[in-house]
Structure 1
C-alpha cells in the first residue's frame, strides 16, 4: 500500500515516480476532456480512481493525518484568498445557517437514524458518520458554477459555506468519537468544546494574519512572498492544533484577512506570481484528491463481509437520504420562518423573482442581498452540496478500538456509508448541477458586472488625474512628465467611458458586442505577436541574448494580460 505523499517500503523510487507522473497525466487529460465536454473534472476523476482501484497492482491508501495536515490547509487557504471577506460578511446569516446549523443538524439526524434503524448501531457512532458526511466540499459545485456563470452571490454562499463547515464537522466528530470510545457524553462539555475550538481558531487566524503583515517588507520580493504565502496555512493549522483549537478555522480566517489586505500591502509582481503559484497548487492537489477518493473502494469494501445486506442497505439509505433531503428541507424551512425568527437563525427572506435583467445598480444589488434568496437560488443551493475528500479523511480518523479494547462500533460500515455518500453527491450532483443551473436560468448579470468594473476603472483614472494636478502644482519641474502621463490617462478614460456608454445602451444582461472594439483587440494582439516574432529573430541571429529576450517577452506578456478576453468587460 502506498501512502501520500511518501511511498512505503516495498515500492521502488522509480515505480513511485512513474506512478506520480501517471497520476499527473490523468489529471491533465481529464482537465482537457472536461474543458471540451463541459463535464466536471471533480466527477470524472473519482470514477477513474475506482476503475484503477479495481485493477491489480499498487494502489494509493488514504492517510487521514496527511490529508488533514498537508492537503486540507493549502486548499482552504487558497479558497479563502480567492473569497471576498466583505461578501461573506454581507451574506453571513445564510453562510452560518448552512455551515454551522445545517452541519450540526445533519450529524444529529444521521446519528439518530443509525440508532433507530440500523441494527446494533450506537448513537455516538451514528453521529460520527453524520459529522463526516455533513460538510459539503464546494470544489465541484464552484467549478461548475463558474463555468455556467452562476451569480456572484451564489458563488459567495457556496464558497463561504465550504470554508467554514469543515471546522464545525471536525469538532462534532471529535466529540462523537470521544463518546463512542469512552462511553460518556456531556452536552454542556460538547457545547463548551465547540465554542472554545471556534473562538480559539478565529483568534489564531487573526494572529497569523497580523504576523504576516509584520513581515510585509519581505513580500516585495516575489520569491519571498510566495514562500511566506505557501507556509502561512501550515503555520495557522499547526498553531491551532497545538493550542487544541480549530486549526481549520484558523487557516480560513487567516486566508480571508490576508486576501482582503493583499491589495493594500502586497506588490504587483508578488501578487501576479502568488496567484499563479496557488492556481497550480489548487490544480494538482484537487486532481490528486479526487483520484484518491475513487481509489479508496477496496479499503471501504474490505470489511463489509460481517454485515448482512439489509443492514448495509438501511445504513446507506439513512446516510444518503438525510444528506440529500435535509439540505433542501432546511433551505425551504428557513425561507418560511417568521422574519423575527429568521433573523435570529440566519435564514433567508423572500425575494421578488422578477427583477428585470440589467436593472441593478449598486443600491439595487445591496437591496437584493439584504432580501435573501429567490426560489430558483434555493433549488440550486439544494443541489450544490457535494461531499469530498474531507468526509473520507474524517471518517478514516476513527480509531480501531475503544478505551476498553473493543473494536470501534461498526467502523467498516461507517467507512462504506461515507464513501457512498461522497460518490453519490460528487458524481450524481456534480454531473447534473450544470444542467440544473441552466434549466433554472440562473446566470450572473454580465453587463451589470462590466458596468461596475468600468465605473471603478473610470473612478481610478479620475483619481489619478486629480493626483497629477497636485503633483504639477507642487513640483513645476515635473510638468512635461505629468502632461505625458495625463494624455495617456485621458485616452484610457475615454475608452472606459465608451464602454460604459455601450453598456448603458444595452438592456440585456448579456455583454453587448462591439465590432469596433473587437477589431481593436484583434489588431492589438496582432501587433504583440509581430513584436514577439521580431524579438525571436533578434535572439536567433545573436543580436539579443536570451536573458534580454525573457525581459522583453515578460513586458509583452504583461501588456497582453491587460487585454480583456471579451469586450467590453
Structure 2
C-alpha cells in the first residue's frame, strides 16, 4: 500500500511539474508527461502497468463525460454529418485499411487480427489536440468537429474491436457484424438518454450543490455500467448522458451547483489526463519485451503499413469530403448555403488534430493472451500513439500559427458582449414589470436599476468598439484601468478581512463566506495582463 501511495505522490509531483513547465515553455503538457513517463519507465523501481479494464472502466467514462458536459449539443447537430463521417465511417475505413494492408504485407497476420489493430489505432484522442488548438486559436467549427469526433469515435472503435476479436478463428459475417454494430450503438444511445432523463428529474428537485456534484460524479459510471450490463455501448451511453445533461444544466442546476461542478470536473480532468499520459510513457518496456521473436524487417513493414494508413487516410478522407457537391454538405435541418465545405487550410489543421492516446493502448492491451501476433500488434499501436501524440503534438501549435486560420477572439468577444447587453435589457424589463405590480419595491429598485444601467452602458460601449475593430481585439485603456483598480480594491478587502481574522475579531467560518464573495466577483474579471 505504501508503494502505491508513493507512486501516486510521485506521479502527482510529475504532473504538477509538467504543467508548470508547459506554462513557461509553451510545450504541450501531454507531450511532456509522455516523455517523463518514457524516462521513468527505464528507471529502477516499480512501474505501473496499463490494465485495460481499469482504464476503460475508471478513466475513460469520466473523461468522456467531462468533455461531453463542455460540448455543445446544438453545434454537434449542426455539423452532425461531418462528425458522423469522422467518428464512424473514417474509423471503419481506418480499421479495414490497416487490416487489409497488414494481412497483404505480412501473410502471418490474419485479416481479423489486422482489423483489430486498425480499430485500436483508428480513434483520435482530442485531449492533446484541443489543449494546443484552443491556445493557438483553432476556429470554433474545427473545435466542434474535433470534440464531436473524440466523443463518438471510441464507441465505434471498441465495437469494431469486439467484432474483430470474435472473428479470429471463427466465421466472419459482414452482415452480422454490421447488425451487431448498429444494435450496440443504438442501444448505447437509448441507455444514455434514459440515464440522463432519470438523473435529470432527480437533480431538478435538488437544490443542494454537494448532492448535485455527487450525482454528477456518479453519472458516467452509472451510464457506462448500465450500457455494459445490457451488452450495448457503455461509452456511447456516457457521451449521450453527458451531452443531454450538459445541455439542460442551466435549468437543472443552481448557480452554486454549477460553480462547484465546473471546478470539480476541471480537477478530475486535470488529474486523470495527467495520470493517463504518464501511464502511456511507462508502457514502452512492456511493449518492447515481446518483440525479440520478430524479424526487424517484419517490424519495419508492420510499422510502415500501420503508420501509413493512419497518417494518410485521414487527410485523404477530409479532402474527399471537402470536394463533395455543396448540397451534400448541408447540415440536417439547415440551409445548404450555410454548410460551407472545409478549406484546404482547415483540412490540414483537422488532419494534424488526429492525435492518438490511451484508448488506443487500452484497446491494444485488451487483446487476449494468445491472440495472433499480439506483441507485434501492440508494438504498432504504441508506435502510432508516440508518433501522433509527440510528433503531431509538438508541431500542431506552430502549424496553426503558420496557417493563420483567423483570429476568432474578436467575433467571440463581440457576441458575448451583445448577449450581455441583451441580458441586462431583460433584467431591466423584469424590474419594470415587478414595480408595476408591486410599487412598494421602488426604494429597493433604485440602486439596482442604476447599477444595471451602468453595466448595460459599459457593454454597449464595448460592443461598439468591437464592431468597429479590425484584426485583433481593441485595447480599452479606461476598461483596463477600471479592472486593475477593482483588483487592487479586492486585494485590500481581502487583507482587511485577514487582519480581522488574525486579531480574533472574525471567525474563520465567517472569513470563508466573505472570501467566497470576493472570489466570485474576481472570477468574472478578465485575467491580468
Above 0.5 in TM-score? yes
User: How far is the alpha carbon of 1:335 from its aligned partner?
Assistant: 1.6
Which residue pairs with 1:562 in the alignment? 524
User: How far is the alpha carbon of 1:477 from its aligned partner?
Assistant: 1.3
Residues 447-473 of structure 1 deviation map (CA, whole Å, 9 limit, x = unaligned): 111111111111111111111111111
TM-score of the pair, normalised by structure 1: 0.91
Of 417, 424, 430, which aligns to 2:380? 417
**Distance in structure 2 (CA, Å) of the matches to 1:69 and 1:122:** 29
**Distance in structure 2 (CA, Å) of the matches to 1:463 and 1:566:** 30
User: How far is the alpha carbon of 1:548 from its aligned partner?
Assistant: 1.1
Q: Secondary structure at the match of 2:248?
A: helix
Checking the alignment, whether the CA contact within 8 Å between 1:115 and 1:121 is kept in structure 2 is yes
Note the residue ranges of structure 2 that are not aligned, 5 or more in a row: none
| 1:494 aligns to 2:481 (yes or no) | no
Q: Secondary structure at the match of 1:332?
A: helix
Of 15, 32, 38, which aligns to 1:44? 32
Q: Secondary structure at the match of 1:305?
A: coil
**Distance in structure 2 (CA, Å) of the matches to 1:263 and 1:175:** 40
| 1:147 aligns to 2:109 (yes or no) | no
Checking the alignment, whether the CA contact within 8 Å between 1:134 and 1:323 is kept in structure 2 is yes
User: How far is the alpha carbon of 1:342 from its aligned partner?
Assistant: 5.6
| 1:183 aligns to 2:170 (yes or no) | yes
Residues 432-488 of structure 1 deviation map (CA, whole Å, 9 limit, x = unaligned): 000000000124421111111111111111111111111111112112222222122
Which residue pairs with 2:300 in the alignment? 313
Residues 400-421 of structure 1 deviation map (CA, whole Å, 9 limit, x = unaligned): 1xxxxxx321011011100000
**Distance in structure 1 (CA, Å) of the matches to 2:69 and 2:406:** 24
**Distance in structure 1 (CA, Å) of the matches to 2:346 and 2:524:** 33
Which residue pairs with 1:531 in the alignment? 493
**Distance in structure 1 (CA, Å) of the matches to 2:95 and 2:326:** 27
Change (3 A) 1:368 1:228: farther
Checking the alignment, whether the CA contact within 8 Å between 1:91 and 1:369 is kept in structure 2 is no
Of 178, 201, 213, which aligns to 1:214? 201
Checking the alignment, whether the CA contact within 8 Å between 2:329 and 2:336 is kept in structure 1 is no
Checking the alignment, whether the CA contact within 8 Å between 2:466 and 2:474 is kept in structure 1 is yes
Of 1, 20, 23, which aligns to 2:11? 23
**Distance in structure 2 (CA, Å) of the matches to 1:149 and 1:450:** 14
Which residue pairs with 1:135 in the alignment? 123
Residues 237-295 of structure 1 deviation map (CA, whole Å, 9 limit, x = unaligned): 00000111000000001000111100122100000011000000000000000000011
**Distance in structure 2 (CA, Å) of the matches to 1:268 and 1:284:** 25
Which residue pairs with 1:379 in the alignment? 348
Which residue pairs with 2:399 in the alignment? 436
Q: CA-atom RMSD, angstroms?
A: 1.6
Checking the alignment, whether the CA contact within 8 Å between 1:377 and 1:442 is kept in structure 2 is yes
Which residue pairs with 1:286 in the alignment? 273
**Distance in structure 1 (CA, Å) of the matches to 2:152 and 2:70:** 14
**Distance in structure 2 (CA, Å) of the matches to 1:174 and 1:384:** 26
Q: Secondary structure at the match of 2:401?
A: helix
Note the residue ranges of structure 1 that are not aligned, 5 or more in a row: 1-12, 347-362, 401-406
Which residue pairs with 2:246 in the alignment? 259
Of 192, 195, 210, which aligns to 2:179? 192
Checking the alignment, whether the CA contact within 8 Å between 1:119 and 1:311 is kept in structure 2 is no
Which residue pairs with 1:460 in the alignment? 423
Which residue pairs with 1:516 in the alignment? 478
